[in-house]
Amino acid sequence: MEMDTAHLKIIFAGSVGAGKSSSIQAISDIELVNTEEIASDEVRLMKETTTVAMDYGQMNLEDGTKLHLYGAPGQKRFDFMWEILAEGAIGIILLIDDAAADPMAELNDYLQAFKGQLNSRSMVIGITRTDLSESYELNAYRDLVSSYDTLTPVFTVDAREEFQVKTLVRALLYRMDPWLN
């Protein structure tokens, strides 16, 4: 009889262009289920397509655990998806685009929104697109996060790179359970 393997759900959050779809694409063991559409309105200025509704991928750990990876849409008008996606999730990977107009304000908005959960050890933060930014300073992000009185870790990540995104996922799993291998 097959062992009952654990199924864990993780959500990638962050605003438009932060790299949620790219991250899931980079690490998924199955073909991505995504609802990418040609971007209209203001998003069009940034990139060709945007996620409507969600992304979905899977990553299998060595011990047979299956991670279900969900990407939330970055556009504000899809905020209603949050309640649906967050149901049963064990952790959140928050991505912040360092090359955005005001990434610190963006991070601050998310920290405000997640304030209540910051100490449940269920979040890690990845700063993306730092190679495109002129003012990259990891410590500024870390200071902002610390001001919320949480040990939520902050990493630099290129959302296109499998190894880097997997490192972020492992950091999340490790943060939730340091005894996990």
Q: Any contact of residue 128 with Mg ion (CB under 5 A)?
A: no
In the complex, least distance from residue 33 CB atom to ligand GTP, rounded to whole angstroms: 14
Interface residue with ligand GTP, options 26, 28, 50, 54 (CB under 6 A): 50
In the complex, least distance from residue 127 CB atom to ligand GTP, rounded to whole angstroms: 9
**Helix, strand or coil for residue 154?**
strand
Interface residue with ligand GTP, options 57, 74, 103, 126 (CB under 6 A): 74
Q: Provide the token pair at 111.
A: 């920290």
- For residues 140 to 169, the per-residue mask of contacts with ligand GTP, x marking binding by CB under 6 A and - elsewhere, is ------------------xxx---------
In the complex, least distance from residue 147 CB atom to ligand GTP, rounded to whole angstroms: 25
Q: For ligand GTP, which stretch binds (CB under 6 A), given 108-116, 123-131, 146-154, 168-176?
A: 123-131
Q: Provide the token pair at 15.
A: 């605003």
DSSP state of 32: -
Q: Any contact of residue 25 with Mg ion (CB under 5 A)?
A: no
Instruction: Give the integer Cα–Cα distance in Å for 61 and 94.
Output: 21
Listed in sequence order, the DSSP H helices in the chain are: 20-27, 81-86, 103-113, 138-146, 162-176
Separation of first and last alpha carbons in the chain: 24
Q: Provide the token pair at 93.
A: 């990977």
Among Mg ion, ligand GTP, none, what does residue 129 contact (CB within 5–8 Å per kind)?
Answer: ligand GTP
- Phi, psi angle pair for 179, to nearest 5°: -85, -10
Secondary element (H or E) of residue 101: none
Binding site for ligand GTP (CB under 6 A): 14, 16-22, 47, 50-51, 71, 73-74, 128-129, 131-132, 158-160
